[in-house]
Amino acid sequence: MRFRLSPTGCVLLAGDLIAFVLFVYYGKLAHHLPVTFLGICETLAPFLLGWIIAILVFRTYAERACSSWGRQLVTMLFSWTLAAPIGLLIRSWWTGVPMTLIFSGVTYFVTLAFLLGWRLPFALFHALWKRTRQETVH
């Protein structure tokens, strides 16, 4: 199995990574924890491992997944729905802190909000850009 990023996939990957970092940064601030580079990396690592597994399963950044605004959003939703519990389980194992339903729900929905917060405008802009480009060619 080869893993290839489409050009749109590269932009989506970069934006998603920024969304994850912003979620962790916000979480640290909200919990009055020190915000350090290593602290952010340590908190982010389990979720990135889950994300890597999910993007390989769903081919989140492949050309087909990025071909329309709907596919971009649905593939991201499926990917996050798989990645979140994986990340939460890894985090629980890593830290020795058991998962709670409230923490899991907040993590899932707030991170989803961060992802959708940038992906919705991007998907709409990308769809308009593609339409304009196609109209110019024809």
Nearest to 46 by CA among 65, 11, 20, 18: 20
In a domain, 37, yes or no: yes
Domain that holds residue 11: 7-137
In a domain, 48, yes or no: yes
Instruction: Please state the domain count of the chain.
Output: 1
Contact 65, 16 (CB under 8 A): no
Structure tokens that stand for 82 in this block: 């798989």
State the chain's mean pLDDT as an integer.
93
Residue 129: band (very low, low, confident or very high) from pLDDT cuts 50, 70, 90: confident
In a domain, 93, yes or no: yes
CA dihedral 88, 93, 95, 100 (to 10 degrees): 50
In a domain, 2, yes or no: no
Nearest to 60 by CA among 50, 49, 46, 74: 74
In a domain, 1, yes or no: no
Length of the chain: 138
49-95 pLDDT, tens digit per residue, is: 999 999 999 999 998 888 888 999 999 999 999 999 999 999 999 99
More confident residue, 5 or 57: 57
Confidence check: pLDDT of 136 > 80: no
